[in-house]
Chains A and B, each alone.
Chain A
Amino acid sequence: MDAVQPDTSYTRTAVALHWIVALLISVGFTLGATMTDLSVSPRKIRLFAYHKWIGITVLGLVVLRLLWRLTHPAPPDEPMPRWQRIAAHATHWLLYLLMLATPLAGWLYSSAAGYPVVYLKLWQLPDLVSKNKQLANVLVEVHGYLAWTLLWVVVLHAAAALKHHFFDRDATLRRMLAWQRR
């Protein structure tokens, strides 16, 4: 395996943020996709709370990631065809967009439904819109569509990374693995 040069890798901060957010999105998505079908119970209330906390955490971390990305450029691309380069960059920015839009739509939905977000049971976040049942019904759909779109873009993104790793045998995936650095 070729040693990855420092300047061809992401910073440790970027790598850590990437994988923490990836884990949180996986858990948050799984909760979101299963909790809504549960019958009313204390457990359901708790799962909704955890789901909201995870979403708000993702929102905060993605804002940090964007600030970090804008001040610490990504390493240069591995050699690859032009269309792949364009597709990869488009996917990355689409992911950023969806990682912001999905939790924001969830927060908006919580506000419209009259069930505000109290982060970690401690801090009540401001309502983004006032209580409105019709709007809530629309926002819950939007939140769901965004989450499923995010899932499929994540699948595409991960499939491309694995393709580069196992078929092209380049450093695309390794430069996002902290323990491979230097």
Chain B
Amino acid sequence: MKRHAPWFSTMAVTAAFVATAAGDPTIDASKSSIIATFRQENVPVDAPLKKFNGRIDYNPSQPNAAKAALEVDTGSLDMGSSDYDAEVRKKPWLDSGTYPKASFISTSVKPGAAGHFDATGTLTLKGKTQTLSVPVTVGSAGKAMVFDGAFEISRAYFGIGDKEWNDVVDDKVKVRFHLVE
């Protein structure tokens, strides 16, 4: 079990952080979506992440104080077929057995034009972290607030996918989200 200690503690810290930074989840996952788009042989393929939760605290009159914390189940990536689903959960890819969760926790928010802000925060994926600045658009759907945005990550940076795949699958993966509170 010693071998597993680091990720257990990482997970515990992440979970605690999500809990304190986020309180109860406020995102309505049934109305929201997080979709990873990768390219294989230049074919763009949308793979939705089916399980996630999180919280966004946003007050239009105090956008600087906005906070976001999200947690995604890496094992919920839907590639559209069972053999690709199984492949992408393996060690060389997302290694969902060892790293079942990925998270984004905001550290600062910079308001832009009305209805826009840049959320800077830490993305944790497959045991590695990266600071990202994500442009977010705030909208509404009835009474609910809606947050839309996208960012790009590098597979190589997070160690996702063997080298043999690099000729076939692009390094860049685009992630776009549509979060409804």
Please name the residue on chain A nearest to B164 by beta carbon.
Answer: A42
Q: Are A42 and B167 in contact (CB under 8 A)?
A: yes
In the bound complex, do residue A114 and residue B41 qualify as a contact, i.e. CB atoms below 8 Å apart? Answer: no
| B167, A115: Cβ atoms closer than 8 Å | no
Contact of A40 among B43, B45, B87 (CB under 8 A): B87
Closest residue of chain B to A42, judged by CB? B168
Contacts of B43 in A (CB 8 A): 49, 115-118, 124
Q: Which residues of B121-156 have CB atoms within 8 Å of chain A's CB atoms?
A: none
Residues on A close to B: CB < 8 A?
A: 39-40, 42, 45-46, 48-49, 113-118, 121-122, 124, 131, 133, 136
- A residues less than 8 Å from B84 (CB atoms): 40
- Does A131 lie within 8 Å of B81, measured CB to CB? no
Contact between A121 and B42, CB atoms less than 8 A apart:
yes
Give, as a whole number of angstroms, the nearest-CB distance from A146 to chain B. Answer: 21
Give me the interface of B with A, judged by CB distance under 8 Å: 40-46, 80-81, 83-84, 86-87, 164-165, 167-169
Q: How long is the Cα–Cα vector from A105 to B80 in the complex, in angstroms?
A: 18
If A42-B164, A42-B167, A114-B46 touch, whether A49 touches B87 (CB-CB below 8 Å) is no
Interface of B, secondary structure class, is mixed
CB distance from B44 to the nearest CB of A (A): 7
B46 CB to closest chain A CB, in angstroms? 6
Chain B residues near A113 (CB, 8 Å)? Answer: 80-81
Count A-B contacts at CB 8 Å. 44
Apart from A113-B81, A114-B45, A136-B80: 18 A-B pairs, beta carbons within 8 A: A39-B83, A40-B84, A42-B165, A42-B167, A42-B168, A45-B40, A45-B168, A46-B168, A48-B41, A49-B41, A115-B43, A115-B80, A116-B43, A117-B43, A118-B44, A122-B42, A124-B43, A133-B80
Which chain A residue lies CB-closest to B88?
A40
Residues of A within 8 A of B46 (CB): 114, 131
* Cβ-closest chain B residue relative to A38: B83
Tell which of B44, B86, B87, B167 touches A116, judged by Cβ atoms closer than 8 Å.
B44
> What's the least CB distance linking A182 to chain B, in Å?
44
Q: Is the CB of A46 within 8 A of B41?
A: yes
**Per a CB cutoff under 8 Å, which of B45, B168, B169 touches A115?**
B45
The smallest beta-carbon distance between A127 and chain B, in angstroms, is 11
State the Cβ distance, B22 to closest chain A Cβ, in Å.
31
Nearest Cβ on chain A to B93's Cβ, whole angstroms: 10
Least CB distance from A71 to B in Å reads 36
Decide: A45 and B81 in contact? CB cutoff 8 A: no
- Which B residues are in CB contact (< 8 Å) with A118? 41-44
B138 to chain A, nearest CB (A): 27
**Which of A46, A122, A124, A133 interacts with B44 by CB under 8 Å?**
A124
- Measured CA separation A117–B45 after assembly (Å): 10
Which of these, A39, A40, A45, A133, contacts B41 with CB under 8 Å? A45
A sample of 10 inter-chain contacts (CB < 8 A) reads: A40-B83, A40-B87, A49-B41, A49-B43, A114-B45, A115-B43, A118-B41, A121-B41, A122-B42, A133-B80
